[in-house]
Amino acid sequence: MPGDIEIAVPERTVAKSGIAGVRSLLAARDAAFWPALREATHSARDFSEVLSLATMRKKALRAGIPVEIDRTIRLAIVGGSSLYPLNELVEQMIGAASTTGWWQAEIFKGDFDNYISEILDPESELYAFRPDVLFLIPSSQRCVYQGALTDAREQQHAAAIGTADDLLALAATAHDRTGAEIIVANYLPAPDFDPGPYRVRSLGTDWSFRKMVNLELGLRVPSYVHICDAEFLATQRGVTNCYDARAWFETKQLYAPDFAVDIAREVATIVRSLHKASKKVLALDLDNTLWGGVIGDDGMTGIEIGGTHARGEAFKQFQLAIAQLAKRGVVLAVCSKNDYKNAAEPFEKHPEMVLRLTDIASFQANWEPKSENLKRIADELNLGLDSIVFVDDNPAEIEIVNQFVPQIETILLGPDPAQYAAQLLNCRHFEPRSITSDDLQRGEQYQQQAARAQAMGSSGTDMASYLASLDMHAVLSEFTPVDVPRISQLINKSNQFNVTTRRRSEAEVEALIADPAHYAYSVRLADRFGDNGLISVVIVAVEGATATVDTWLMSCRVLKRQMEDEVVNEMVRLAALRGADEIIGHYLPTEKNSMVRDLFPRMGFSQVEENPERTTWRLDVNTFTPRPTHIQIDRRAYEN
Amino acid sequence: MTQTEILAKMQPVFDDVFLDDVKVTPELSANDVEEWDSLLQISLVLGVEKAFGVRFRVGEVEATKNLGEFADLIQRRMAETAKA
C-alpha cells in the first residue's frame, strides 16, 4: 500500500528515557544525561518525579557532566503563600526549556505573604535582586467580595474590577521599577459546594467573584503582564485535586504538590515564549491523518471523511481543528507520499473535506523522503525548519524526520482518530503571546506570495518591470504602542534577514518609543496582491555625530522587493535630522543570517573592519544619494 | 506488619529520594543525613504515603523524632485503613 512503504528506521541516539533512564545515564556520567533530563522533565507529571529529576540535576552538575548553559533567567517569585518548594519545581522546568543545553534560573523567593510590601517598598530585596521576570501569586484571601450576596450586581462587578485593578497596579509598579516581564497567577476556582447551586446566582459568592476577577484581570492586562492561568489549569486537572489543606497548615503551600508541577510548567512555558517564537507552519501527512484510508488504493469513494460514519466524523473534526489554527495565522502545508494527482483530488472534489487546495501554502506529494519534502516546504515558504511542526500517523515517518531534521517538532498521531483534534489542540506549539491583525491575515499573505511567485514565473519579464507591476506602497512609522506586540514578535523570531539578531522583550521595545538616544521605525508594505503587514524593523542608536544600527531585520516574505533600499533611504534621512554625519553598521554572523552578510556593502556601505565575530561598515550621510526603487512611500517616520 | 518490615519497605522510597545509600534504621533522623532538607522531607512523606497507601493527618509526621517513631505512625495508619 502506498501509505505504508517500509522505511529503515535509524537507531535512536537517546535510547532510554523516563526517570530510570535518566538515572542510569547519571550513574554512567554520560553526556546524553542532559537531553534525557530535558525530555523526562517535559513529561513529568507528579511532584516527586520532578524533585527527583531536580536532585539528579544537582548531582550531575557536581559530578561535572558537561552541559551548555545557553541562557540565564533572573526570576523573582513573590506571593501570598510559601514559595518553597515551588521555586525548585520552577527552576527545573525553566532549565528544560532549553533546546540543546540547559537554562539556568536564578531565583529570588519572596517571604510568605509579603508580596505587597515587597513590591511597594523601592528598597526591598526584590528590587536589589533586579529580576528579568517577576512571578506574582496573589493571596486568595484578598479575592473575596466583602459585601452581601444580595448587593446590586453592578456593585459586586465593580468590586471585582477593583480587585483586578489592584493586582495590575502592583504589576505596574514592579514593572516600572525593574522593566521586568510580570507573570501573574490568577485565582483558583472555589472548591467547596457551599452555598450550593446558589453560587452562580450572585457575583458575591467565592465561586462567581473569583471567576469575574479572573476574567477582568485577563481582559485588562498590559503587554508586559502574562497570566499564569491557574483557573484553567485547575479546571483541567480537577479543582479539588489542586488544594491540599494539610500542606497549607503545615507549610503554607497554596497548591497541592502535583498541581504545583502544572503551575511550574506553565511559568516555564511563559518564560520560554518570551525568548522563543511559537511555530508558524503545520505540515500534514494525508492518508490516515487528514482522512481514513489510502487515497491511492481506496479512491475518492473509499476514503473516510465526514458523512455519516463515526470515523469519518473524527477525521473531519481534526480538519476543523486545523482550520481553526489556520484562521489564526498558522500556515498549512502538505507532506505526503502519494502521486500529486491522487493527493490533490479530495481537496478539489470531495464534498466533505474542510481543507481545500487554497488553504495549503505548500503542497508536497511525491515519493521523496519526507525529510526532503519538509526542507522543500521551508524553502518555498522562506521560513526556517524550526518554524515547522510535522504531523503524521506513521511512527516510522516521525522517526525519520526526528533523525534527519531534528529542528522540526513532530506530533505522532494515534492510535484513535477520535483523539487527533485534541492532540493537536493540546500540543502547545502554536500558542501566540498576543494575536495581531497581521497574524489573522498570514495564511492569505502566503498565498499571495505564491501568486507573486507565479506572476514572476509566467511573465518571464525582467525584474524591474515585475517590481513596477507590483504597485508597492510602504508606510514607515516610528514605533507606536499599538505596533509593539508585532514589532517584538519580529524581533524575537526573525533569524535570517537580521544583521545583529538582538532580542528584546515587549517592555524593552515599548521603552524605545520615548528614548531620545535612539530612533526606531517599522515598515508596512502593501502591493496589488494584498497587504504584507508590518515587515521590517530598524533601531538606530545616535551618539554625537555617529548613528549605529542596533537592529535591522525584515520578514523574508518581502525579499528582493527593494524594501531594504527604502529602509536605508529612511535611515539616512533620520540620521541627518538627528545631526549624525555617519552611519555605522555591524553584521554579527549566526548560523542562520548569512543572507545579510553582504547587505551593508550592497546598500553602499564601505568596510571598516572585519573579524570572525563581526564585520563593521560605514556610510557617509552627507554624500549619500537616495537609492531608486519601485516603492511608493505613503508616509515617513516621525512625520505627522 | 512489624516495625522492621515497615522499615524495610521504606528503604526503596529513601533510595528513590536520596539517590544515594541512606540506610534506614529506627534511630535515623534528618539530623544524621546532610542532604535531608525540608525539600527531601516533603518527597519522603509523599513517597511513603504512596508506598503504604496511607494519609497522615496534619502535624503528625513532624511530631515523630526518628524513623522508628515514623514507622510506628505508619503502622497505626495502616491498621486504621485496614479496619475501614
pLDDT digits (tens, 9 = 90+) for A55-77: 999 999 999 999 999 999 999 99
CA distance B35 to chain A (A): 10
Give the whole-angstrom CA distance, residue A164 versus residue A181. Answer: 18
Cβ B17–A23 below 8 Å, yes or no?
A: no
Please tell me which residue, A540 or A470, carries the higher pLDDT value: A540
Cβ B57–A249 below 8 Å, yes or no?
A: no
Give the whole-angstrom CA distance, residue B72 versus residue B84. Answer: 19
- How confident is the model at residue A297, as a pLDDT? 86
Mutate to test the interface with B, among A23, A26, A90, A246 (most CBs of B within 10 A): A246
| pLDDT value at A454 more than 90 | no
In chain A, the residue whose alpha carbon lies closest to the alpha carbon of B38 is A85
- How confident is the model at residue A181, as a pLDDT? 95
- The CATH homologous superfamily for domain A470-635 is Gcn5-related N-acetyltransferase (GNAT) (3.40.630.30)
| pLDDT value at A530 more than 80 | no
Mean pLDDT (whole number) for A521-549 = 91
Write out chain B residues lying below 8 Å of A26, CB-based. Answer: 19
Cβ A245–B58 below 8 Å, yes or no?
A: yes
Mean pLDDT (whole number) for A32-45 = 94
* Domain spans, chain A: 12-66, 68-275, 281-425, 470-635
Match domain A281-425 to its CATH number in 3.40.50.1000, 3.40.50.300, 3.30.70.360, 3.40.50.970.
Answer: 3.40.50.1000
Cβ B40–A55 below 8 Å, yes or no?
A: yes
| Stretch (H or E) spanning A361 | strand A360-366
Query: pLDDT category, A85, cuts 50, 70, 90?
Result: very high
- How confident is the model at residue A8, as a pLDDT? 43
| pLDDT value at A118 more than 60 | yes
Instruction: Give me the DSSP letters along A481-530.
Output: GGGHHHHHHHHHH--SSBSS-----HHHHHHHTT-TTEEEEEEEEEETTE
Mean pLDDT (whole number) for A148-152 = 96
- How confident is the model at residue A156, as a pLDDT? 98
Q: In whole angstroms, how large is the CA radius of gyration of chain A?
A: 27
CB contact, 8 Å: A459 with chain B?
A: no
Mean pLDDT (whole number) for A205-218 = 98
Tens-digit pLDDT profile for residues B15-69: 988 888 899 999 999 999 988 888 888 889 999 999 999 999 999 999 999 999 9
Mean pLDDT (whole number) for A218-227 = 95
In chain B, the residue whose alpha carbon lies closest to the alpha carbon of A246 is B58
Tell how strand A582-587 and strand A546-554 pair up: parallel
- How confident is the model at residue A456, as a pLDDT? 59
Mean pLDDT (whole number) for A158-175 = 96
- How confident is the model at residue A409, as a pLDDT? 94
CA distances from A494 to A436, A508, A527, B39 (A): 16, 17, 22, 41
CB contact, 8 Å: B3 with chain A?
A: no
b/e string for A269-305 if b means 16 or more Cβ within 10 A? Answer: bbbbbbebbbbbbbbbbbbbbbbbbbbbebeeeebbb
Tens-digit pLDDT profile for residues A481-512: 888 988 998 898 888 899 999 999 999 999 99
CB contact, 8 Å: B34 with chain A?
A: no
CA distances from A369 to A43, A62, A267, A316, A337 (A): 29, 43, 38, 27, 8
Q: Does the interface ipTM go beyond 0.85?
A: yes
In chain B, the residue whose alpha carbon lies closest to the alpha carbon of A24 is B19
Cβ B58–A246 below 8 Å, yes or no?
A: yes
Number of domains composing chain B: 1
Tens-digit pLDDT profile for residues A326-356: 999 899 999 999 989 999 999 999 988 999 9
Amino acid at the residue A146 = Q
Write out chain B residues lying below 8 Å of A84, CB-based. Answer: 38-39
| pLDDT value at A12 more than 50 | no
CATH number of A68-275: 3.40.50.1110
CB contact, 8 Å: B40 with chain A?
A: yes
What is the residue range of B47's domain? Answer: 3-83
CB contact, 8 Å: A259 with chain B?
A: no
- How confident is the model at residue A539, as a pLDDT? 97
Write out chain A residues lying below 8 Å of B42, CB-based. Answer: 47, 51, 85, 251, 257
Tens-digit pLDDT profile for residues A602-612: 999 999 999 98
Mutate to test the interface with B, among A52, A252, A261 (most CBs of B within 10 A): A52
CB contact, 8 Å: A245 with chain B?
A: yes
Mean pLDDT (whole number) for A205-229 = 96
Contact between A284 and A332 under an 8 Å Cβ cutoff? The reply is yes
* CATH number of the domain that residue B43 is part of: 1.10.1200.10
- How confident is the model at residue A127, as a pLDDT? 97
Average pLDDT taken over every residue of chain A: 90
CA distance A145 to chain B (A): 29
Cβ B19–A48 below 8 Å, yes or no?
A: no
Write out chain A residues lying below 8 Å of B58, CB-based. Answer: 245-246, 249-250
* pTM of this structure: 0.72
Q: Please, which residues 23-82 of chain A have a Cβ atom closer than 8 Å to chain B?
A: 23, 26, 47-48, 51-52, 55-56, 59
CA distance A262 to chain B (A): 17
Query: pLDDT category, A1, cuts 50, 70, 90?
Result: very low
